[in-house]
Amino acid sequence: MKLILSPDDNFRLGDFLVKGLESDALSFRGLSAFARKSGIAYLSTGISDFSSTRPFQLTVGVDLQGTSIEALEMLLNAASANAEILLFHNPGTPTFHPKLFRFEYDEVTEVYVGSGNLTRGGLFTNY
């Protein structure tokens, strides 16, 4: 197990996702409570390239107005027709709040579980 200690670590959630999207991973699945344009901008090219040839599924929460319409539009524009972009809304409490991202490879699976959302801060600068 490797700990990613953002933002002081040289390897952050954003790096994990960009590296995985540019890799030979067989598939991607992710869950994020929130997404913003500031975060999706870093990932859109990788999402486009990855999802055009391999399974890609991302579930994004829309509770507490934490996800912007612009981020959802960017995700939909980046994702191929075979990708799954799912939205989750819980009309009451508790709030949908996971942050889990998984890349499956031939002989290993890499998983990030933490507190980083798909925002610029969550990917690169927040603790």
Number of neighbours of residue 18 by Cβ within 10 angstroms = 16
Q: Which domain holds residue 43?
A: 13-125
| Domain count for the chain | 1
pLDDT value at position 43? 97
Distance of CA 50 to the CA centre of its chain: 13
Q: Domain containing 62 — which CATH number?
A: 3.30.870.10
Q: Tell me if 1 is assigned to some domain.
A: no
Who wins on pLDDT, 70 or 96? 70
Residue range 94-125, pLDDT digits in tens = 888 999 999 999 999 999 999 999 999 999 99
Question: Could you report the per-residue pLDDT of 55-68, keeping only the tens digit for each?
Answer: 999 999 998 889 99
Examine residue 86 and state whether it is found in any structural domain, yes or no.
yes
Residue 127 pLDDT greater than 90, yes or no:
no
Task: For residues 72-88, give the mean pLDDT.
Answer: 96
The yes-or-no verdict on residue 7 having pLDDT over 80 is: no
Q: Flag whether the pTM goes above 0.75.
A: yes
Residues 90, 10: Cα–Cα separation, whole Å: 35
Q: Is there a domain that residue 5 lies in?
A: no
Is the pLDDT assigned to residue 50 strictly greater than 90? Answer: yes
pLDDT over 90, % of the chain: 78
What gap in Å lies between CA 47 and CA 63, rounded to an integer?
Answer: 23
Domain for residue 95, yes or no? yes
Q: Could you identify the residue written with the tokens 């997404």?
A: 35
pLDDT of residue 93: 79
Mean pLDDT across 69-90: 95
Strand order in the sheet with 56-61: 84-88, 56-61, 27-32, 99-104, 109-113
Is there a domain that residue 66 lies in? yes
Within a domain: 2: no
Name the band, by pLDDT with cuts 50, 70 and 90, for residue 36.
very high
Residue 41 located in a structural domain: yes
